[in-house]
Structure 1
């Protein structure tokens, strides 16, 4: 086997492979031998069927497998000799082996661009000091109260109002016929929180427990059912009962329910500690971005299009999922796929440039990733998405996602190394016009 490498660009390679007749025939014969070993054909003992019969009986499968196996063998050998690790999927342009004929094919892939790293140690960067914001702590406690609130059935004979929870049955009709899928029984919702269309809530608020009513509701243009989007439907509603929200007092009992704390003071301490840790991660992340942006501005290199396209596709998939969870259709955006790709491209390009730069640092520093570190990263993903760890790991392995995960961990390690070697200057938090620190909702609720 001989091969020649074409440098199509600074990040793309094409390898043209020439396979002599002898190697072609040997590859076919080897695959025939494998089939012959296990073939069970009437009139012959297992393993004793003539090769000519095996080849005639299973010719399509044999030639297909022989071609695939030979190409895979060559690709591994060639990449090892070239000492290259493809960043993209390997695209193969090949026909099928023909006995007694020379075999020519090519494969192409993208590689990381080569560039000179600037000095990335000892850089100066400002980072905001972390101060406890008492209002943020109290806001967390209020969210805990909301989460632990009880809904008490209202005995008073009255109409529901905003803030009340209601238990209802409802069904939608179009041209006198019920609409499939737009129906529920004993459905509980809270009024005034934007969870339902205003016209629908007006129908509910016009009822008392035990009463039924109806009214026209115009569905939004981005309604998930495209056939009904923007149309008026008749909603029939029955109100079963009204519930008022009762918030728990801010006391030791709340602390116990919220996380097993002995007192409300202990709960506040835990929230403050979590708040500080969260803010520290945020200010650190901002400082790291400043460092990385400064470094990226000093280099220029071609970006592998496959990596950019992969991130664009991911952003579009995330957008589609978000819309569907909101009950909206993807078409409701009113944008073509080309427009969306153009919109997400700048962000995708920045992500790819960051990753390539950090991977170059990781390579220079000889950073490595242990299997347990990959497992730890998968555990975090599984926890965040509510998936089973073993199932998620198998998915990553079966879909060739482990390399991308490893690269992410390496990039994170490289960023941490740059940050640890930087000269950090702590500065007071930025205040708004009223002298308050900009409110950033704490993600941690004990």
Structure 2
């Protein structure tokens, strides 16, 4: 087999492969012999058909099949021989083939970029330091109570925070418009659910009252036919309900799976969850900084095949997330290209760090991560056992741990400074990178 390789760009290779006629004929004869054992030809018993008849009937198809298989086989033999690492399937151009002569074809494909990850010392990391204080726990208890607010009918005028049950009919220039009317709608004043001015105009209303209000649709309203227009809504208030925060009692604690220990036991459980959230938030922010730093220090060219595959994955994810009667391929590729490129480049860089430093998943860290994830459930032992019985889930956890080890490897060489902050600042979402 003769192989020659030409570099047509930084990542593209044009490989010419010549397959000797002897190998072609061997493969053709092998297929004809297999066909002869099972061929049914009138006038002959199975397995007794003369080879001359088999050749006459089946040689063309056997040769075509052999050529296709040989192209696949010899392509992979050639890339191994040439120490090439294809990043996607090749585009194959067979040259005109003549029986009795060698087969020659050209395969064009991209290879993975070859590089060494560098610039660790130039990466600046700000690592947050925070603790969960008593005041933070108190604040979280208030949040949990507000999230479980109940509304009770109140015989008074509506205030911000009250829940109104309303009927309304909307018109623009005297004409009703689609989506502008509803009955029995529950609306919490101050929630910002309706267009600006709608909820404010209902403050002070009482049950049984009818009000005519004139809010204006925003200029950037999603329905362009309504954007910027003044509407007239006739609103009937059916009821006014005031918010009632639940008491911190056994019934409330039981909603969160805490049945023993009273208030102190509940506070301890809340603190434990907050501490877990804090650790995860700090770890995530450090990881994002590390990944941003690696990207900045290691600009590499991305194989088009990998980028295209990642764009398609993101298209599928978008359709699954938002639904709708749309096929993934109908979404414009440019919507996802920047995010896809970041993910592909990071994948290549992380893989190279693993290779350079010969990293392997630390099984003790794998066990600790599974136990931490399981601690969020009421029966953690069962969750741990489930993970260890599920190979796919275990491999996913090992991938997470390996990525954490990559981050730790970078931190050992990067410029790291610690910064003391409050719990709220530490868990506050950072500005998200373009893709993760």
Q: Deviations over 1:76-120 (max 9, x none)?
A: 32233334433x221232359967153322323333323344475
Is the 1:219–1:230 contact (alpha carbons within 8 Å) kept by the matching residues of 2? no
Gaps of 5+ in 1: 171-175, 212-216, 224-228, 331-335, 381-388, 397-401
Q: Alpha-carbon deviations, 1:121-141, whole Å to 9, x = none?
A: 999855221222556544543
Give the 5 Å matches for 1:359-378: 359-368=351-360
Say if 1:311 and 1:147 are closer, same or farther in 2 by CA, change over 3 A: same
Q: Is the 8 A contact 2:13 2:109 kept in 1?
A: yes
Q: Offset at 1:15? A: 2.0
**In the alignment, structure 1 residue 89 sits paired with structure 2 residue 81:** no
- Corresponding residue number in structure 1 for 2:382: none
CA RMSD, Structure 1 to Structure 2 (Å):
6.0
In 2, are the aligned partners of 1:168 and 1:239 still within 8 Å (CA)?
A: yes
Which residues in structure 2 correspond to 1:113-152 (within 5 Å)?
A: 113-118=113-118, 120=120, 126-132=126-132, 137-138=137-138, 140-146=140-146, 148-150=148-150
Evaluate the alpha carbon distance shift between residue 83 and residue 414 of structure 1 in structure 2; reply closer, same or farther with a 3 A threshold: farther
Match in the other structure for 2:377: none
SS in structure 1 of the partner of residue 72 of structure 2 = helix
Q: Aligned partners of 1:281, 1:245: CA distance in 2, in Å?
A: 33
For residues 188-337 of structure 1, the aligned pairs below 5 Å read: 193=191, 230-231=224-225, 246-262=244-260, 263-294=262-293, 297-312=296-311, 314=313, 324=322, 337=332
Structure 1 partner of 2:74: 74
Give the distance between the partners of 1:422 and 1:183, measured in 2 at CA: 62
Q: TM-score, normalised by structure 1?
A: 0.60
In 1, distance between residues paired with 2:411 and 2:135? 32
Q: Secondary structure at the match of 2:106?
A: strand
Q: Secondary structure at the match of 2:420?
A: coil
Alignment of 1:23-62 (within 5 A): 23-35=23-35, 37=37, 45-46=45-46, 52=53, 56=57
Contact 2:161-2:242 within 8 A present in 1 as well: no
Deviations 1:347-371 (A, max 9, x none): 5544444333332221122335699
Q: Is the 8 A contact 1:151 1:165 kept in 2?
A: no
Give the structure 1 partner of residue 379 of structure 2.
Answer: none
SS in 1 for 2:427: coil
- SS at 2:279's partner residue? helix
Distance 1:352 1:43 in 2: 61
Give the structure with higher Rg (CA): 2
In the alignment, structure 1 residue 358 sits paired with structure 2 residue 356: no
The change in CA–CA distance for 1:123 and 1:239 in structure 2 (over 3 A counts) is closer
Of 247-256 and 32-41, more deviation after overlay is shown by 32-41
State the shift of 1:418 in Å: 0.7
Q: What's the counterpart of residue 429 of structure 1?
A: 420
CA gap 1:17/1:55 in 2 versus in 1, 3 angstroms: farther
Q: What is the alpha-carbon distance in structure 1 between the residues aligned to residue 361 and residue 124 of structure 2? A: 28
Hey, what's the Cα distance between the residues in 1 that align with 2:361 and 2:271?
34
Q: Report if the CA contact (8 A) 1:166-1:191 is conserved.
A: no
- Change in Cα spacing, 1:167 to 1:328, as seen in structure 2 (3 Å) is farther
In 2, Cα distance between equivalents of 1:85 and 1:349:
19
The aligned runs of 1:149-168 (5 Å cut-off) are 149-150=149-150, 154=153, 164=163
Compute the displacement of 1:258 (Å).
0.9
Asked if the contact 1:167/1:187 (under 8 Å) is kept, the reply is yes
Which residue does 1:9 correspond to in 2? 9
* CA distance in structure 2 between the partners assigned to 1:312 and 1:54 by the alignment: 48
Work out whether residues 311 and 348 of structure 1, in 8 Å CA contact, stay in contact via their aligned partners in 2: yes
Q: Which runs of 5+ in 2 are unaligned?
A: 170-174, 211-215, 227-232, 374-386, 430-436
1:438: which partner in 2? 425
After superposition, the C-alpha distances for 1:245-282 in whole angstroms (9 at most, x for unaligned) are 65422233322211224223223223323323332333
Alpha-carbon contact 2:126-2:417 (below 8 Å) kept:
yes
